[in-house]
Structures are given as structure tokens and as C-alpha cells.
């Protein structure tokens, strides 16, 4: 069957048909040649693209290694920060306990101070009362002494 179509192409039935077939073949050849030219141009560009891709891959590998190193450093920093946070939390716990103990001690001292002030005030009142009693007793002694003198 392919032979018949080829035979028809080279042995046309009509002279106008032969011209039409030649024009058609010329157009197909032109399309084919332009496609070949485009492919050849692409072939010229391919080694450059391959080189660029290799360079990019090398650059990408370099960037990747750099990023992996940065990631490793970041992980180390995170680990250090977690350790610092843990130690800080322990220290905060100890300080909280210490503050609570100090607060209790302050409360005891405040209670003791209030008790001491109360006792001091009571002692003052007792002293004043005793002082008044002494004055009264002196007056009584003086009065009795005065009465004794009068009696004598």
C-alpha cells in the first residue's frame, strides 16, 4: 500500500496534479528543514544548559551544605536554649520556695513585733499605774507623817 502512494506521488495521473504534489512536497520539506534547523539550534544550546544545570546543582549542593550547617547550628542553639530554660525553671522554683520561706519568716516577725508592741504598751500602762500608785502612796505617807507630827 505504501508503494502505491509513493508510485502515485512520482507517477501522477494529471500534469496539474503533479505540480500540486510538488508544491505540497516542497512545503513539507520546508517544514521538515525548519524543524531540523530548530532542533540543531536547540542542540547547540543544550550543552550550555547542561553546564548551567551542573553549576546550579553544584551551587545547590553548596547551598544545601550551608543550610544543613545552619540547621545543625540552630538545633544546637535550640538544645542550649532548652537546657537554659530548664535550669532557669529550676532556679525559679528554688527562688519561689525561698521567697515563700522568707514571707513566712516576715509574717512571724510581724506577729512578734505586734505582740512586742502590745506587751510594751501594757507595760507602759502598768508603769504609769504603778507611778500613780507611788505618787498616791507618797501623798499618803506625807499625810500620815504630817498627822504624826501634829499628834506628837
Q: In the prediction, which pLDDT does 4 show?
A: 53
Q: Chain-wide mean pLDDT for the chain? A: 88
Q: In the prediction, which pLDDT does 13 show?
A: 61
Lowest mean pLDDT segment, chosen from 13-17, 87-91, 101-105, 107-111: 13-17
d(CA 51, CA 41): 16
Query: What average pLDDT does this structure show over 99-124?
Result: 96
Q: In the prediction, which pLDDT does 63 show?
A: 84
| Torsion on CA atoms 44, 46, 47, 51, rounded to nearest 10 | 140
pTM of the model: 0.41
Whether the pLDDT of residue 1 is over 50: the answer is no
Q: In the prediction, which pLDDT does 10 show?
A: 53
Give the pLDDT confidence of 46-99 residue by residue, as tens digits.
Answer: 888 888 887 777 777 788 888 999 999 999 999 999 999 999 999 999 999 999
Q: C-alpha angle with apex 110: 109 to 112, nearest 5 degrees?
A: 60
Residue 144 CB neighbours (<10 A): 10
Is the Cβ–Cβ distance between 79 and 87 less than 8 Å?
no
Amino acid at each position: 500500500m505504501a508503494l502505491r502512494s509513493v508510485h502515485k506521488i512520482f507517477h501522477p495521473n494529471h500534469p496539474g496534479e503533479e505540480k500540486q504534489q510538488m508544491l505540497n512536497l516542497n512545503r513539507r520539506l520546508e517544514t521538515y528543514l525548519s524543524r531540523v534547523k530548530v532542533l540543531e539550534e536547540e542542540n547547540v544550546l543544550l550543552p550550555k544548559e547542561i553546564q548551567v544545570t551542573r553549576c546550579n546543582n553544584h551551587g545547590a549542593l553548596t547551598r544545601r551544605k550551608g543550610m544543613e550547617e545552619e540547621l545543625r547550628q540552630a538545633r544546637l542553639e535550640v538544645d542550649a536554649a532548652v537546657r537554659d530554660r530548664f535550669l532557669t525553671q529550676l532556679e525559679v522554683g528554688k527562688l519561689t520556695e525561698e521567697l515563700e520561706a522568707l514571707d513566712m519568716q516576715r509574717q512571724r516577725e510581724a506577729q512578734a513585733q505586734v505582740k512586742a508592741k502590745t506587751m510594751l504598751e501594757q507595760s507602759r500602762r502598768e508603769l504609769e499605774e504603778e507611778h500613780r500608785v507611788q505618787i498616791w502612796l507618797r501623798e499618803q505617807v506625807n499625810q500620815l507623817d504630817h498627822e504624826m507630827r501634829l499628834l506628837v
